[in-house]
Structure 1
Amino acid sequence: MKMQEPILDEVKLFEDIKRVNSELFAFFKEKYDFILSEKINQPQPPEDVDKLIKRFIVRSSEKPIFQKLNGADDIKDLLEDINDLAKAMGNSIDDIVQSYEEQLKNDQVVETIDMISRLVQKFRKALNARVKKFHVDDAVTVDEMQSDFFDLISKILKENLIERIIPAIYEGMKIGNVEIYDLILGKINNFLSAMGIRTLEIEAGQKINYDFCRPTESEENSTDDYRLKEVIKEIRQLPYIFDEDHIVVEGEVIGWRFING
């Protein structure tokens, strides 16, 4: 009996799956210089991008960590608290990855989340090494001490955690397997919240806030509708802030490109 030929939509779906998996692997290889074995697996259905970005929202009622520094005597205890929070985050993520590896051995997603786990451990090492070097010898006032501490902490969080790991989780979620990435993201969000960091909640369709967001435009997002000028089409990353005067990482948004005529 002759087998039925696959319908066109099924062929297109399979090709799309191969393409997005290849793009994710290229993303990791270029950004983090990891070598991955390419395997094509059927992913879980991806989530709508607008809904997906809401998973990255961080809320916090904690006082910003740098504002808890009120004198040289506070430094030791404060640094211990930060390292304890980072250790708890790292251990929790390790447990999640180990549990998932036992369920799906040699799976492409396992390799990806294992890399994220290693990046978290690198963040912990960088955090521990750099906060140990913090001193207040040159600071005269409490405001100066807090400002110096903010500069130190925000730089580490930006370069070693948020900008390195959050985009990787987002790209993984866009392909599928949202559940496992969401577990890891939850631990990172909890850590950031405990540090007093929150995200600024922005939505597609709002005007771009240039104080907190870095927009990009392209020909693909061109419009002749003047109402869409300087309006967010898609959010790639939320802004991470301690408060409105202390930005840790700018948000990344795709804006409509208005063409007059």
Structure 2
Amino acid sequence: MGGGRTFRLSLGGKIVVLSTLLGSTNAWRSPPRLHTPLAHFETLSTSSAIDVHSFPSSVASRLGSAISGRFLESVLLLLPLTVLPPSACAFPGLEDCTSESNPSFTIVTCDRFGIDPVAGRPKRCLSAENCISSTSVNNPSKYMSPWVFNGAGEDVPTAWLSLVRAVEAQEGLKVVEIDNGSKQYYLRAEAPSKVPPGGVDDLEFLLSPKDGLVFFRSASRQMAFLYPLTQPVGDGGSIKKRLETIQKAVGWSTVEEFYDYK
């Protein structure tokens, strides 16, 4: 037949053509004269390609357009299932952090230590952090009550020295920043993270002479996110256990424990 056109289709193309032609999709509904394309196919072989000979130009054009349309439709349907490495901005509150991804997970690094200038206390934990903070009162899983130091009858300098010594005595902890009361009673220490290996945990303590309390925050500086989870891999409670060990060393009660006792 004049004006014929030849196509060479890969094995994937064969499957698309045959499944589409034999299916009940409207994409292939055409006038009666175009309902005979299968009659123009040669017998299919097991080779990697097939030849379609002697197609009228109009039929060949319609066939090529339909194949392209079906392929595009399949790609669009599969896009929501495609897992792409997330960046730090994909996690709420971590937009200012940095991230590094590989095919298995993303490591998000955040330097969020320091006293909140508005609240005057250590920062709250974000939802996507391995973190415990005495300021996260609205997040029970990340909250630990402040410690009451003056309940033991200690004055401020004595209480502060007790806390510094307790932190320094913990294996793996290193004090990297300290203010012994020139502006505030503040200490920050670093410790190896349990998750991810090679990461760093930051521990912060702020003693408030006015309140008679010690506020604190401890968080993993690096967080490992496995696809497609939106929460980091847990630390097995290591951050909380470290804080509880320090609390036991100084012998102070939490606010709840102190006032329940009284």
Normalised by the length of structure 1, the TM-score is: 0.34
Greater strand share, structure number: 2
Normalised by the length of structure 2, the TM-score is: 0.34
